[in-house]
């Protein structure tokens, strides 16, 4: 089934079903014995096509990820991994006008339901914004050992700030250097290069004391500077006090 723009492009909200950290109900992890790299020939082809698709549609990796996130939640959950890649590829190629839905469907089996075409709405992605050249690499606002809080951001669009860390306090563990900012890069709103840090969160800060965790267990996650705010020494003491009440 072709994911059509009418279903996908409008639903661009960040708080999508792809942001799975901390969800329950998916059951046990079941490894497959002697698992092949691909489970079907179309998976092979889809995997290999992805890079070409990104080139053909002139999209970056963040836009590709965001396209996957724009798959309607029920469909996302019902699709396998490479089916999601396929849906994203079709979506981006059609949105960028590289191929039309009609062309894609005409190439497919004659049994394709024409209603899917009728439902489609042509929706081009935003025009690219050119970067200012010659800008200096940004300085790091934080350094190792700094206490920080993940901001409670809910931007309308792509982000790599998962819900489970928003509002939580952690410590800068490493500064990985400067990286392109996905939240803007996914929307052609500039690369906004900035420092990205490994931020360490106590498992109990994230999941509460009742969690199946020892007091030493931690989650380390890589967060861009714009996702973080400093915790001043004073406010730290206060917030700990508050939490103990």
Partner 1 sequence: MSDHHNTDDSGPAARVKALEALLTEKGLIDPAAIDAIVDTYETRVGPRNGARVVAKAWMDPAYRKRLLADATSAVAELGFAGPEGGHLVAVENTDRVHNLVVCTLCSCYPWPVLGLPPVWYKSFAYRSRAVSDPRGVLEDFGLELPREVEVRVWDSSAEIRYLVIPQRPKGTAKMSEDELAAIVTRDSMVGVAKVEAPRT
Site for partner 1 in 144-173 (CB under 8 A): 160-162, 164
Asked if residue 122 binds partner 1 (CB under 8 A), the reply is no
The residue (of 74 and 233) whose beta carbon lies closer to partner 1 is 74
| Positions 177 through 206 that interact with partner 1 (CB under 8 A) | 179, 196, 198, 203, 206
Least CB distance to partner 1 at residue 235 (A):
25
| Positions 66 through 95 that interact with partner 1 (CB under 8 A) | 68, 77-78, 80-83, 86, 89-90, 93
Ramachandran angles phi, psi of 194, nearest 5°: -160, 165
Contact by Cβ (8 Å): 167, 195 = no
Kindly list the distances between the CA atom of residue 25 and the CA atoms of 77, 80, 164, 207, 235, in Å, as whole numbers in the listed order.
13, 18, 16, 16, 36
The residue (of 9 and 93) whose beta carbon lies closer to partner 1 is 93
How is residue 98 written in tokens?
């590289």
**Using CB under 8 A, which of the segments 47-55, 117-125, 185-193, 232-240 binds partner 1?**
47-55
The span from the CA of 95 to the CA of 176, in Å, is: 34
Closest CA to 63 of 7, 108, 129: 129
**Residue 205: exposed, middle, or buried by beta-carbon count in 10 A (0-12, 13-18, 19+)?**
middle
Asked if residue 15 binds partner 1 (CB under 8 A), the reply is no
Chosen residue from 5, 9, 46, 71 binding partner 1 by CB under 8 A:
46
Asked if residue 44 binds partner 1 (CB under 8 A), the reply is yes
Chosen residue from 75, 96, 104, 189 binding partner 1 by CB under 8 A:
104
Ramachandran angles phi, psi of 177, nearest 5°: 100, -165
Binding residue count for partner 1, defined by CB under 8 A: 79
């Amino acid at each position: 089934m072709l994911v059509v723009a009418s279903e996908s492009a409008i639903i661009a909200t960040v708080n999508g079903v792809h942001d799975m950290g901390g969800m329950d109900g998916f059951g046990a992890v079941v490894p497959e014995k002697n698992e092949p790299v691909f489970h079907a020939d179309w998976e092979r082809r889809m995997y290999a096509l992805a890079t070409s698709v990104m080139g053909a549609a002139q999209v970056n990796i963040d836009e590709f990820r965001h396209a996957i996130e724009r798959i309607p939640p029920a469909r996302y959950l019902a699709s396998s991994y490479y089916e999601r890649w396929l849906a994203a590829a079709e979506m981006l190629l059609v949105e960028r006008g590289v191929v039309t839905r009609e062309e894609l469907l005409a190439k497919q089996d004659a049994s394709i339901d024409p209603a899917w075409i009728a439902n489609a709405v042509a929706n081009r992605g935003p025009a690219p914004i050119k970067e200012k050249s010659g800008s200096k690499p940004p300085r790091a606002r934080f350094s190792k050992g700094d206490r920080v809080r993940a901001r409670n951001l809910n931007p309308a669009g792509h982000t790599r700030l998962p819900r489970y860390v928003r509002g939580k306090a952690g410590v800068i563990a490493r500064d990985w250097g400067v990286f392109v900012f996905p939240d803007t890069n996914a929307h052609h709103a500039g690369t906004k290069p900035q420092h990205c840090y490994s931020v360490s969160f106590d498992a109990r800060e994230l999941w509460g004391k009742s969690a199946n965790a020892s007091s030493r267990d931690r989650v380390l996650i890589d967060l861009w500077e714009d996702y973080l705010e400093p915790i001043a020494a004073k406010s730290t003491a206060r917030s700990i006090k508050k939490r103990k009440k």
